[in-house]
Amino acid sequence: MIELEGLTKRFGGKVAVDNLSFQVRPGVVTGFLGPNGAGKSTTMRMMLDLDNPTSGTVRIDGKHYRDLPEPLKYIGALLDAKAMHGGRSAYNNLLCLAQSNRIPTSRVDEVLDLVGLTPVARQKSKGFSLGMGQRLGIAAALLGDPEILMFDEPVNGLDPEGILWIRNLMKGLAAEGRTIFVSSHLMSEMALTAEHLIVIGQGKLLADLSMADFIQQNSRSYVRMRSPQQERLKDVLHEAGIDAIDVPATGTLEINGVAAEQLGELAAQHQIVLHELSPQRASLEEAFMRMTADSVEYHAHAPGAGELPPGAAADNPARPADVPAWGAGFDATRKGGK
Ligand SMILES: Nc1ncnc2c1ncn2[C@@H]1O[C@H](COP(=O)(O)OP(=O)(O)OP(=O)(O)O)[C@@H](O)[C@H]1O
């Protein structure tokens, strides 16, 4: 278990982490999300005592990091895969870590095997590809067989097979009852890996909830309809008092707040042929973009480019102007702490 209480970090006048309080619980993979510059790495560094908080505390299994007798046996972390000594072999990098943390040498071969680096164990790590470097960093995190593991962007540089491997590894470690805390910008990957989410923006807590609740509360669901008798369908919907949004790009209609069953029956009553009748649920990416739209520090302003994915917020007529950017269902009282 990791517990943060009022954690704050200022760099000069800049507040990088702003009064963060949350817990990371064992037995599930907890995803850590936030736009660029939100304060994720700074938070993780303070969790590992690599940065001093301006105020607030982090406890690892109830203790401050510096009071853990052999920290690697409690918490393993992959923060920067390039932090390894390039002139040393993969084996020697891990051996040094093992010896300085009183971890049996036999564990070095075990973790090398676990991450698939045994064939290159004696090669200098400076010749490693990005993906091999990530695997070595993960091996180092696993060395002390810790109950808590933290990974900052662990799938960076990994190929699809490597991404699948780390996903299964993290899920497997969580299933063993360990605490797994992972940051990633790859929303599709996070959606497949994490069960719980902590979301921050400009250093502040925006959400602390399950993946399912996060998506449900921060995205709209709607029904998509397509018919070869589209104009007739629009008239029928209009007569029934149902608002349909025309999406010319896809030749579809989008309907909010009416069940697909009801729409299908209405079409059938009027003998309208349907080529599509599909309930839509937004992706984690859309939910994330909606929630963090107000706290993105660095916007790209390409001509004509929207800042949200298709269907989200600004270009989405379904989102009324008075709905806050984190979505209609999101409980604003959750902002800043549970
Ligand atoms: N050593 C430092 N000195 C001054 N400012 C810093 C320092 N480290 C981080 N910051 C600032 O603190 C804020 C949070 O940075 P941090 O790297 O923690 O964000 P992040 O969420 O990890 O971002 P990214 O997703 O881009 O990695 C940023 O505005 C950053 O510029």
For the chain, give the mean pLDDT.
83
Span 207-228, pLDDT tens digits: 999 988 887 777 777 899 999 9
Query: Given this model, what pLDDT does residue 276 score?
Result: 96
Span 19-33, pLDDT tens digits: 999 999 999 999 999
Query: Given this model, what pLDDT does residue 295 score?
Result: 64
Query: Given this model, what pLDDT does residue 297 score?
Result: 61
pTM above 0.80, yes or no: no
Q: DSSP for 1-27?
A: -EEEEEEEEEETTEEEEEEEEEEE-TT
- Whole-angstrom Cα distance, residue 141 to residue 215? 30
Residue whose Cα lies nearest atom 3 of ligand 1: it is 11
Query: Given this model, what pLDDT does residue 244 score?
Result: 94
Query: Given this model, what pLDDT does residue 187 score?
Result: 81
Span 58-91, pLDDT tens digits: 999 999 998 988 888 899 998 876 666 767 888 9
**Ligand 1 centroid, distance to 41 Cα (angstroms):** 7
Residue whose Cα lies nearest atom 23 of ligand 1: it is 37
Residue whose Cα lies nearest atom 26 of ligand 1: it is 36
- pLDDT bracket for residue 336 (50, 70, 90): very low
Are the beta carbons of 215 and 287 closer than 8 angstroms?
A: yes
Residue whose Cα lies nearest atom 2 of ligand 1: it is 11
Residue spans of beta strands (DSSP E) within 153-307: 179-183, 196-201, 204-210, 221-226, 245-247, 252-256, 276-281
pLDDT at 233 over 70: yes
Domain boundaries along the sequence of the chain:
2-216, 221-281
**Ligand 1 centroid, distance to 198 Cα (angstroms):** 17
For residue 34, which atom of ligand 1 is closest to its CA? 21
Domain 2-216 CATH assignment equals 3.40.50.300: yes
Q: Find the farthest-apart pair of alpha carbons in the chain and give their distance in angstroms, rounded.
A: 77
**Ligand 1 centroid, distance to 202 Cα (angstroms):** 10
Q: Which of 42, 45, 150, 297 is the pocket-test mutation for ligand 1 (most atoms within 8 Å of CB)?
A: 42
Q: Which of 15, 40, 47, 183 is the pocket-test mutation for ligand 1 (most atoms within 8 Å of CB)?
A: 40
Question: For the residues 34-60, what does the mean pLDDT come to?
Answer: 93
Ligand 1 binding pocket, CB closer than 6 Å: 11, 14, 16, 34, 36-42
Q: How many CB atoms lie within 10 A of CB 156?
A: 18
Highest-scoring range by mean pLDDT, 38-42, 120-124, 301-305: 38-42
Q: Do domains 2-216 and 221-281 have the same CATH topology?
A: no
Residue whose Cα lies nearest atom 14 of ligand 1: it is 39
Complex ipTM: 0.96
pLDDT at 134 over 70: yes
Highest-scoring range by mean pLDDT, 140-144, 280-284, 304-308, 311-315: 140-144
**Ligand 1 centroid, distance to 88 Cα (angstroms):** 30
Identify the sign of the CA torsion 76, 81, 84, 87: positive
* Protein fold of 221-281: Alpha-Beta Plaits (3.30.70)
**Ligand 1 centroid, distance to 16 Cα (angstroms):** 6
- pLDDT bracket for residue 181 (50, 70, 90): very high
pLDDT at 269 over 80: yes
